[in-house]
Structure 1
Amino acid sequence: MRKVGLAMAAIMLMLALAACGKEEPKAVDTAASANAREIKITAQNFDFDQKEIRIKKGETVKFTLENKEGMHGMEAKELGLNVKGGSSQTITADKTGTFNLKCSIICGAGHGNMVSKIIVE
């Protein structure tokens, strides 16, 4: 019974630490947001439905995440993107490169493999 209590305490500590230090998303002009291209991503346990997303530098994009199975989020820190399932965020890509899009909510054994790429050209 004590082991279960210690395991639960460790999990709670990991979740609390995961929530610390998050950067605020970059602000996007409301008018630009209304004209943004929308990219819808569906998440299920340990997988995003899109492995690669291509956008242009300077493009305003609305990312929407739908959870098909499990609880997930998506985050690309370098782009200021952090979306929880069932919500959206609009960003303007201000730099070129290839950026990891990761699940931001610990979702089980395959969590670390839940990665896609955003390529800004």
Structure 2
Amino acid sequence: DRGDKFTYAGHLVMYPSGYGFYDLYGRNSIHQNAPAAQKVGKQHDWNKMEILAQGNRIRFVLNGTLISDWREPEPDRIKEAPIGLQLHSNAVPQEIQWKGLELETFPEDKLLTVKE
């Protein structure tokens, strides 16, 4: 609702900056768990992430560890929209890669990558 159909607005999962959830053009940082993410996150290496978003609940798993399990307290903010993958700008050249990216519409309410 920013006047440009290509402008992103809504919930973001932030990794590695912020290690949590962010509401762009809204409330900004809405949930963070940097200590847990920093323990299991790998810099300059592959990280395995699972994001399960169902209704007002978002769960984020990093390298087999549940980092965040958060519920949106304002359900009217939830909108159906495309997803985006982004690398934030920086003063130095950067590169980001994804592999094995899987998207599922209406997934089962089960985290698949959490280590027991």
Tell me the TM-score range normalised by the shorter chain: under 0.3
Larger radius of gyration: 1
TM-score, normalised to structure 2, is: 0.28
Give the structure, 1 or 2, with the largest relative contact order (CA under 8 Å, sep 6 or more): 1
Q: In proportion to residue count, which structure has more strand?
A: 1
TM-score, normalised to structure 1, is: 0.27
Q: In proportion to residue count, which structure has more helix?
A: 1
